[in-house]
Amino acid sequence: MVQLRKAEENDLTAIRNLVIELAIFEQEPDAVTASIADYQALFRSGSFACIVAEKEGVIIGIALYYDAFSTWKGKMLYLDDLIVTESYRGQGIGKLLLNAFLAKAKEKEAVLAKWQVLDWNEGAVKFYESIGATIEKDWWNVKISPL
């Protein structure tokens, strides 16, 4: 049985490990440069929150999110990572996590929930479309790193 709960500071190593697993899946194995110390400092400051999916005491999935603001819509919750470890995919855990994230957005009175998906990740695209999410294909990501 899978249980969902709010992440605690002692979960951060498992959370970071899942983020690394996602980076490998997304063909960016060396992209995670944030240290566990970074995770701890930012978690303590409230910069992000996370819902964890746990089975038999092991964290097998996460929905990591933070508050954001849309100048067009208002209060927004941004889902930075939705990850289920590979051996547990296809069992509905991702949907449980996504629903918990959306419930948190409603609880926080956000008017918009937003996240990204890679165009080649057909399984994720189909999943998001199946729940009625809009996938914008006309906006491009822009970033500068390192600063």
Per-residue confidence of the chain (147 residues) as pLDDT tens digits? Answer: 999 999 999 999 999 999 999 999 999 989 999 999 999 999 999 999 999 999 999 999 999 999 999 999 999 999 999 999 999 999 999 999 999 999 999 999 999 999 999 999 999 999 999 999 999 999 888 889 888
Is residue 66 flagged as an active site residue? no
Residue 71 within any structural domain of the chain: yes
Rounded to whole angstroms, the Cα distance separating 85 from 95 reads 14
Question: Cβ(87)–Cβ(43) under 8 Å?
Answer: no
Q: Helices 36-44 & 12-25, crossing angle to 10 degrees?
A: 120
**95 in any annotated domain:** yes
Question: In the chain, how many domains are there?
Answer: 1
Asked if the structure places residue 141 within a domain, the reply is: no
Whether 64 maps to a domain, the answer reads yes
pLDDT at position 145, please? Answer: 84
Encoded tokens for 60: 């097998």
Residue 135: strand pairing partners? none
Q: Which of 66, 78, 88, 128 is catalytic?
A: 128
Assigned domain for 145 exists? no
What lies within 8 Å, CB to CB, of 18 at 6+ separation is 59, 61, 62, 81, 83, 85
User: Which CATH number belongs to the domain containing residue 34 in this structure?
Assistant: 3.40.630.30
144 inside domain? no
Q: Using CA atoms, how far apart are residues 19 and 115, in angstroms rounded to an integer?
A: 15
In single-letter form, the type of residue at position 48 comes to F
Range of the domain at 73: 2-130
Is 143 a domain residue? no
Q: What pTM, to 2 d.p., does this model score? A: 0.94
Strands 58-70 and 112-114, sheet pairing: unpaired
